[in-house]
Structure formats: structure tokens, C-alpha cells
Amino acid sequence: SQTIHQWPATLVQPVGSPLSLECTVEGTSNPNLYWYRQAAGRGLQLLFYSVGIGQISSEVPQNLSASRPQDRQFILSSKKLLLSDSGFYLCAWSRPHYQELNSPLHFGNGTRLTVT
């Protein structure tokens, strides 16, 4: 079966510090990978998605970036955090659409980031 891991679970960082959140998926190959952000009491906003190693698409311009150095590894980064970067960050995977049309997204348990 497939599993997805995100870490850390919680993080408190000062403004201007760097960020690195990591996500790995097990039990599947060539997954689509996603980073979402969820503000308090609000829906999920897609930040980045990737259909393969080194292939990243950004949905929202901001000071965050994403990388996919390996097939099942997805990293969210920032060089300098802003207060507005606080939120709940979720990584997700799905089968690519050529394998399964309408594959649901499967989420990790998220990272609660507080920028102080």
C-alpha cells in the first residue's frame, strides 16, 4: 500500500529565516506530487505540483519554491520567511492521469508553520 510522510509536524521560525519542508511517498512510482497551503478556517490553495523529477509548476507567485530531486521526494523551500507564510502546509500525491483518470489526491498529515 502507499504511504506519504511529511515532516516536521510543527515548526516555529523567525521572519527572515530559511525553510525546508520535506515529503516522501512510498509504495508507488511516478506519482504526481503537490504542495497545498491551508489558512486557518479556509480551503486548500495549490502552491506547486510536479509530474516528474525536476518538473515543477507554480500556481501562486510568492517567495516559496519547490523541488523534486527524486521520483518520490518533494521539498518546499524558502530563503526568507515572511509573516504571511504562516499556515498549514500539506503534501499530496496522486497517480498520473495517464495511469488513472480522476485519481484522488492522498494527503500527508501536514506541517503547521508559525512565522514569528
Partner 1 sequence: EDQVTQSPEALRLQEGESSSLNCSYTVSGLRGLFWYRQDPGKGPEFLFTLYSAGEEKEKERLKATLTKKESFLHITAPKPEDSATYLCAVNRYYAGNMLTFGGGTRLMVKP
Contact positions vs partner 1 (CB under 8 A): 6, 32, 34, 41-44, 46, 49, 51, 90, 92, 94-97, 101-110, 112
Residue 102 CB, shortest distance to partner 1, in Å, is 4
* Euclidean distance between CA atoms 56 and 32, whole angstroms: 10
Residue 74 CB, shortest distance to partner 1, in Å, is 14
Pair 75, 22: CB distance under 8 Å: yes
For partner 1, the closer CB: 68 or 95 = 95
Residue 40 CB, shortest distance to partner 1, in Å, is 11
For partner 1, the closer CB: 17 or 57 = 57
From residue 86, give the alpha-carbon distance in Å to each of 2, 18, 91. Answer: 29, 13, 16
Pair 89, 35: CB distance under 8 Å: yes
Distance of CA 46 to the CA centre of its chain: 9
For partner 1, the closer CB: 49 or 74 = 49
Residue 16 CB, shortest distance to partner 1, in Å, is 27
For partner 1, the closer CB: 34 or 74 = 34
Selection from 95, 100, 98 nearest residue 2 by Cα: 95
